[in-house]
């Protein structure tokens, strides 16, 4: 397997090249590779009714019975979990669990742009004028991604960070900088898988259901935050009020059950991503990062 192929990523803490284990990979390969599977996939990924039904079950008390099995199979680190008094009342409550505060300290540098969550990160320093960013075989432009929910013009020639969350990851999104969040704007769409595997070249970034908002940051300028649902995502649920000032590290939203992705867009010159992230991304590799760790600093435009 070459560096940029299926399942390869760099663990930032250890520096090791790792291979991601895709759960139910046989099912996904059937859905994406066979004629019958593709026909079934079109129904599964386009059915809002199915995803609402999954969401309702995941919010129900009987769904608690799935928590232990899910934790064992996916390898959730339960020592980090902040358990509510009386335990979890539903599977979704566990899936969108809070972590113990000491588990994800914020970077000490107040000028740092921090990771908005746990996951695998890919960065691009130049979107170009109408140019495309390509991650693991899937590409998009700012205009396609924002789909009229926010003006893509300021981000031409800017930078992007793509944070992909997988099943065992912490599924809350936090603000990467101080600022004032705008109104969430929902874009209806499909529920295609966001997991990279051979044959999954669907451009889910601009086909999937997503929520767009803009964080007006004094240090980094307007940051477009695009939360993209994946297969069996039942909802993206807000945890903050638009128009109210927030501090970096404050909770923004949570993803209910499923895989999910966050895309962060910045204007030209506003963000300089860390060298290791840029180097890995240039090789076609995602980097495993944790909430609150530094991913970049303000560029010259942000320091003026």
Q: Which of 213, 174, 207 is nearest to 96 (CA)?
A: 174
Pairing verdict, β 294-298 and 271-273: antiparallel
Distance in Å from the first CA to the final CA of the chain: 45
Taken in order 270, 115, 135, 209, the sign of the CA dihedral is negative
What would the two tokens of residue 171 be?
Answer: 């599924």
23 annotated active-site: no
Helix axes of 25-33 and 35-46: crossing angle, nearest 10 degrees? 100
Closest to 213 in 3D by CA, of 229, 195, 226, 196: 226
Q: Which of 174, 217, 235, 274 is catalytic?
A: 174
Site of tokens 């099943």: 167
> Is 174 one of the catalytic residues?
yes
In the set 51, 63, 118, 184, the catalytic residue is: 118
Q: Which helix (H) or strand (E) holds 255?
A: strand 251-255
Q: 119 to each of 49, 115, 189, 294, how far by Cα in Å? A: 28, 9, 23, 14
Find the catalytic residue in 260, 274, 280, 281.
260
Structure tokens at 14: 């250890």
3-state secondary structure of 121: strand
Catalytic annotation present for 217: no
Contact 28, 22 (CB under 8 A): yes
Per residue in 201-232, is it b (16+ CB within 10 Å) or e — as a string?
Answer: ebebbbbbbbbbbbbbbebbbbbbbbbbbbbb
How far is Cα 15 from Cα 186, in angstroms, rounded to an integer? Answer: 37
Q: Which residues are catalytic?
A: 118, 174, 260
């Amino acid at each position: 397997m070459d560096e940029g192929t299926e399942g390869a990523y760099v663990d930032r803490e250890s520096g090791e090249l790792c291979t991601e284990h895709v759960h139910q990979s046989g099912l996904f390969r059937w859905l994406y590779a066979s004629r019958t599977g593709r026909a079934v996939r079109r129904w599964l990924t386009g059915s809002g009714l199915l995803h609402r039904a999954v969401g309702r079950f995941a919010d129900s008390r009987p769904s608690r019975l799935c928590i232990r099995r899910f934790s064992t199979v996916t390898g959730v680190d339960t020592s980090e979990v902040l358990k509510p008094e009386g335990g979890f009342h539903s599977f979704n409550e566990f899936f969108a669990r809070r972590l113990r505060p000491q588990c994800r300290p914020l970077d000490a540098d107040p000028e740092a742009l921090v990771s908005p969550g746990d996951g695998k990160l890919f960065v691009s320093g130049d979107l170009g004028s109408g140019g495309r960013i390509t991650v693991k075989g899937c590409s998009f432009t700012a205009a396609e991604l924002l789909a009229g929910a926010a003006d893509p013009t300021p981000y031409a020639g800017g930078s992007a960070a793509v944070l992909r969350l997988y099943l065992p990851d912490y599924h809350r999104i936090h603000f990467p900088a101080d600022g004032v969040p705008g109104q969430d704007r929902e874009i209806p769409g499909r529920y295609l898988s966001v997991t990279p595997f051979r044959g999954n070249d669907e451009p889910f970034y601009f086909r999937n259901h997503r929520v767009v908002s803009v964080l007006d940051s004094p240090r980094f300028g307007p940051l477009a935050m695009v939360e993209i649902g994946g297969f069996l995502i039942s909802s993206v649920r807000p945890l903050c009020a638009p128009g109210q000032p927030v501090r970096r590290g404050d909770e923004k939203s949570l993803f209910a059950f499923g895989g999910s992705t966050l895309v962060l867009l910045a204007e030209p010159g506003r963000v300089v991503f860390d060298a290791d992230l840029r180097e890995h991304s240039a090789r076609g590799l995602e980097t495993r990062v944790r909430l609150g760790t530094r991913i970049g600093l303000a560029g010259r435009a942000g320091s003026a």
